[in-house]
Amino acid sequence: MERRKLVGELARAVAAIELGHPVRVAVDGVSVAGKTVLADELAGPVSDLGRPVIRGSVDGFHNPREIRHRRGAGSPEGYYRDSFDYEAMRSAFLGPLGPGGDLRYRTALFDFRTNSTVESPVLAADPSSVVIVDGIFLLREELKGHWDFSIFVEAGFDTTLARAETRDVELFGSSEAVRERYLARYIPGERMYLDLDRPRERADVVVVNDDPTDARLEWRVSARTPG
């Protein structure tokens, strides 16, 4: 499907949802599947349809390094179980924007790059807003009930590893170091997520994104499809 049409279809589906509180949209997927790109792409068309947009990411709610690495810096289980502070994400961000929330929220509490807390401002949301949140592990039990619409961006691990070897060289120092890190920690941890939480089956729509220029949508029958 032409990318513009795909993004437009998703944007119309999201913008059509009226709940009386902000519509919280998860853009989930494994690392380097294309989550952040898609979330950014959606923001403009949703806004053009008359809905204020709030952008967020699970990356603003990492645990401190000592918690993330308590099972070992290379542990896949540690990556899956210890990366994020879901209670903080619920209380500071998703909860206030949901049913009965006071609409006062923060989009980040921790910077994993500096391993330090973040003094992000408390913001006030318009009830008609659409909240677009990207990140890995969003459709797990700890966040169940905090999404009003969910998108799973799917790409095979061969594809995502090849993308990571280009994208993450500066972070890890070499493509070989990137490959080693992904094969040892990230991909096995993501396989745990796929097996235990089955995000593909939970999502309202899957974006098959191995080729972003020719991605396709797979809607769940019960999802709020446009039209």
Tens-place pLDDT, residues 72-83: 999 999 999 999
Q: Does residue 58 surpass a pLDDT of 60?
A: yes
pLDDT of the residue at 221? 75
pLDDT of the residue at 222? 62
Instruction: Identify whether 2 is part of a domain.
Output: no
Q: Does residue 62 surpass a pLDDT of 70?
A: yes
Q: What is the mean pLDDT of residues 19-31?
A: 98
Instruction: Identify whether 21 is part of a domain.
Output: yes
Instruction: Identify whether 7 is part of a domain.
Output: no
Q: Does residue 224 surpass a pLDDT of 80?
A: no
Instruction: Identify whether 9 is part of a domain.
Output: no
Q: Which residues contact 65 (CB under 8 A, 6 or more apart)?
A: 112, 115
Please state at what angle helix 3-15 crosses helix 35-48, rounded to 10 degrees: 60
Q: What is the mean pLDDT of residues 147-151?
A: 98
Domain total in the chain: 1
* Residue 223 pLDDT grade (very low, low, confident, very high; cuts 50, 70, 90): low
Mind listing the pLDDT tens digit for each residue in 167-216? 999 999 999 999 999 999 999 999 999 999 999 999 999 999 999 999 99
pLDDT of the residue at 227? 44
Instruction: Identify whether 115 is part of a domain.
Output: yes
Instruction: Identify whether 92 is part of a domain.
Output: yes
Mean pLDDT (the chain, rounded):
96
| DSSP type of residue 125 | -
Instruction: Identify whether 36 is part of a domain.
Output: yes
Instruction: Identify whether 190 is part of a domain.
Output: yes
Please state at what angle helix 157-167 crosses helix 187-197, rounded to 10 degrees: 140
Mind listing the pLDDT tens digit for each residue in 86-129? 999 999 999 999 999 999 999 999 999 999 999 999 999 999 99
Give which of 144, 149, 110, 116 is closest to 11, Cα–Cα. 149
Q: Which domain holds residue 49?
A: 14-219
Give which of 199, 226, 208, 227 is closest to 3, Cα–Cα. 208
Q: What CATH number is given to the structural domain containing 175?
A: 3.40.50.300
Q: Does residue 34 surpass a pLDDT of 90?
A: yes
